[in-house]
Amino acid sequence: MEMIKSIILGIVEGITEWLPISSTGHMILVNEFIRNHNGFTASDLYLYVIQLGAILAVVTLYFKTLNPFSPSKTKMEKADTWSMWFKVVVACLPAAVIGLLLDSVMEHFENWQVVSAMLILYGVAFIFIEKLDKKTTVHSVKEMSYKTALLIGAFQVLSIIPGTSRSGSTILGAMLLGCSRSMAAEFSFFLAIPVMFGVSLLKILKYGLMMSASDAAVLLVGMIVAYVVSLVSIKFLVNYVRSHDFKFFGIYRIILGILVILYFVLV
């Protein structure tokens, strides 16, 4: 049963980590629906370390873009890649500081009430922002200023609230700051690498990696599933935002939030 649960959670992680619909929120809700309250797959260690599989998907798909040592890049292209990484680091500073301070506190908010409220709130925000007459002035990470990167990082801090969505908060913030949808999504992917590695490392340091061979196998399967599904999810979102806005995700979040409330109130 633990292996089956790991496969289910790996699929959920791979889909929801990159779409702006809250991976943590969905993982909490799925655990409720499959009655996964005990065992290794219900542990914080599992739920956060499985994210490493999703991160590797970004590294795989964007390896050349992320690699400043690529022999196929010119000197200027290598400099641009280093500049991109510096902007990612700057954008991670708010989450690194505030996230560390509030990490333990936020664990108390991992419940269906907070998740449903954030699903609906950010769903409304996506619809509202898409209706704004906003100017798009940044079409690539190269065009982004360090100030904009830092402000996007400030929006990312909001994702420590369960149900918010890390990708959702960064994409919303980037769009409000004048970034194109494609660029906002791509920068959100890059931001995920140090942030999710950092969160996973914190959980490993907090809970340790002491596990049985069967638990290790369960975790490995979940990570592999999350990796494969993430490859598909990232490609889907990249293609989707080229010709669509984010209203659909806003509507999805609102409907899901209402269904969550109805489920827990009526059942």
Mean pLDDT across the stretch 104-125?
86
12-49 confidence digits (pLDDT tens):
999 999 999 988 778 878 888 888 888 888 887 888 88
Q: Would you place residue 103 in the very low, low, confident or very high pLDDT band (cuts 50, 70, 90)?
A: low
State residue 138 phi and psi, 5-degree precision: -120, 115
pTM above 0.85, yes or no: yes
Mean pLDDT across the stretch 248-262?
92
- The residue segments making up the domain with residue 63 are 2-266
Torsion over CA: 137, 142, 146, 150 (sign) = positive
85-95 confidence digits (pLDDT tens):
999 999 999 98
The predicted pLDDT at position 199 comes to: 77
Q: Would you place residue 195 in the very low, low, confident or very high pLDDT band (cuts 50, 70, 90)?
A: confident
How many structural domains compose the chain?
A: 1
Instruction: Concatenate the DSSP letters of all residues of 158-211 into one string.
Output: GGGSTTS-HHHHHHHHHHHTTB-HHHHHHHHHHHHHHHHHHHHHHHHHHH-S--
Q: Which of 206, 107, 198 is nearest to 161 (CA)?
A: 107
Report d(CA 198, CA 206) in Å as an integer.
Answer: 12
Report d(CA 73, CA 69) in Å as an integer.
Answer: 8
Percent of the chain's residues with pLDDT above 90: 58
